[in-house]
Chains A and B, each alone.
Chain A
Amino acid sequence: MKIRLGEIAHARSGDKGDTANIGVIAYKGFHYPTLLREVTAERVKQFFGDLVKGEVVRYELPNLGALNFVLYEALGGGGTLSLRLDAQGKTLGAALLRMEIEIDEHELARTE
């Protein structure tokens, strides 16, 4: 079945110049493999479309059940140059939680 990423994960995002990063964290550690499978760098790049001009790199933190996405050329020039309301990418993490992912019904219903 299809669900929004936000049903199984939370996120926080920020900036370094024109580069944004989004930490995506599974609410339940056992959903980490689902994140690994569904939330790839390619899909994140595709999801954001024009908003992210450069590449997207994914890093894995299995110890935290989390992924870190680094989004290059993602903030309209970044810092003081950017004309965007969200020049520091504070809301990009929330945006990514809209992304649809595929998950097995039993996997979603798991409690432990």
Chain B
Amino acid sequence: MIRIASGQGFWGDWLEAPVRLVEQGPIDYLILDYLAEVTMSILQKQKQDDPNLGYARDFPPLIGRIAATLLERNITVIANAGGVNPIACAREVKRLAPQLKVAVVLGDDIYGRIDDLLAKGYDLRNLDTGKPLETILGKISSANVYIGAFPLVDALATGANVIVTGRVTDSALALAPMIHRFGWKADEFDKLAAGTIAGHIVECGAQCTGGNCQVDWQTIPDLANIGYPIIDAEPDGTFFITKHRGTGGRINSDIVKEQLLYEIGDPKRYLTADCSADFTSIKLEDVGPDRVRLSGIRGGPPTDTLKVSISYSWGWKAIGTLVYSWPDALAKAKAADRIVRERLEQLGLTFDEIHTEFLGVNACHGPVATPVEDPPEVQLRIGVRGRDRKAVERFTRELVPLVLSGPPTATGYGEGRPPVREVVAFWPALVPRHEVQTRVEVIE
């Protein structure tokens, strides 16, 4: 059996979680997921400004902080902290933790190869809209392939203490050590599917140990000290989801089910770079306090393409708010919304979308929210999105004047004008597997 702990569900997750995972009990691997889609484009911008940046900057100091424990307890770290600059990330890790061996997985970044791929006749059309990539050429800011677990296994084979990657499938971080230690083959799809599902469960950190959980949430103990998840994996593909003793949170089959269903499509065909996993084959059992067993998982082969996520500049947006108090708070907020829209129209400004919500009334649940009668306060939230930066900028000046020139009792404008933000959108596409070559480098 090997123990794989997940200490970071996204960049910005709890900084103490990975430290506690290595200190509060035995684990063999610490996996850390830093890369949401939007993160890649932010990192690409940072790299353009400074060629030494473009990775998750929290990661190297974390490794510096836990380096001695990693060595003492023989724990290997696998993290996609490399972003769009895995080499720079790995070098910084090596600088802060010189006693560790650091390996990097390269090959997911195809930003510089887009022209070449188009010239070869791959149109990289949008998986959702069907449009060819040509429609956004010149606006692209990053392009990364979701690579699978096997390139990470090559990195583990170097004996490195820390493996740094760029874009990989989230579940590959957990699957790779299982393949490495159990010797699973690329066509043992049931086992690969089991490891993939294990990775899927823990990829959002504490969301499978009682965080963001609807089941009896009021009674889930000590969320302040919530334990992040650990996979106890067996060579036959059976695994357990658990956490360190004495930590907060809760693990049971209800909670694991919520996370199993999180952000999936067809449960019979959960596709990754390594396999297709069948969630309807999972046998789930509560086998102890904070311990759930998963077995019987079936899988099939992956496709001959890999998913690539391309980010591109779409345009601009801004979202502003004002608060109206009782009495008639909602009626006032609605009147203010009409005034803003009328003033925008008089200015001749057009947008791709103007969207209004009333916080405290309908922002989360829209038309299905229970009607609220005469609320003590309502926050008006208006957003616009458009291609013309100037129009969006002008919109940001149209909210605060309502404090003096609109319905009474407007407040909550302390932040002043809302910021104009660039909209970086995503273009999901497929690229043939044989066009993507990965390699491993050890940082000396």
Contacts and interface: CB of A to CB of B under 8 A. Distances in A.
B355 interface: yes
Contact of B364 (A23, A49, A85): A85
B142 interface: no
A40 to B, nearest CB: 17
Given A61-B280, A64-B284, A83 B384 contact: yes
Interface string A27-52: 10000000000000000000111110
16 contacts: A12-B212, A14-B263, A16-B263, A47-B368, A49-B367, A51-B366, A59-B268, A61-B279, A63-B283, A65-B257, A77-B385, A79-B38, A79-B426, A83-B317, A85-B357, A97-B214
B214 A23 contact: no
B82 interface: no
Contacts of B353: 76-77, 83
Which bucket holds chain A's interface residue count?
Answer: 35 or more
B264 A21 contact: yes
Interface of A: 10-12, 14-19, 21, 23, 25, 27, 47-51, 59-66, 68, 70, 76-77, 79-81, 83-86, 90-91, 93-95, 97-98
Which bucket holds chain B's interface residue count?
Answer: 35 or more
B54 interface: no
A81 to B, nearest CB: 6
B267 A86 contact: no
B368 A68 contact: no
Contacts of A51: 366-368
Contact of A86 (B128, B279, B363): B363
A1 B50 CA distance: 64
Q: Chain B at the A interface: mostly helix, strand, loop or mixed?
A: mixed
Nearest to B263: A14
B438 to A, nearest CB: 24
A17 B128 contact: yes
Contact of B282 (A63, A68, A76): A63
Interface of B: 37-38, 128, 212, 214-215, 254, 257-268, 279-284, 314, 317, 319, 353, 355, 357, 359, 363-370, 381, 383-385, 423-426, 428
Given A17-B128, A51-B366, A51-B368, 20 more contacts: A11-B214, A12-B212, A12-B259, A15-B263, A19-B128, A21-B263, A23-B258, A23-B264, A25-B257, A59-B268, A61-B280, A66-B257, A68-B265, A70-B266, A79-B38, A81-B314, A83-B383, A85-B364, A91-B364, A98-B368
Contacts of B363: 84-86
Contacts of B281: 63
Query: Most chain-A Cβ atoms within 10 A of its Cβ — which of B37, B280, B424?
Result: B280
Contacts of A95: 364-366, 368-369
A38 to B, nearest CB: 16
Contact of A63 (B266, B284, B317, B359): B284
Given A64-B260, A68-B267, A81-B385, A48 B128 contact: no
Contacts of A50: 366-367
A94 B282 contact: no
Query: Most chain-A Cβ atoms within 10 A of its Cβ — which of B257, B284, B381, B426?
Result: B257
Nearest to A24: B261
Contacts of B381: 85
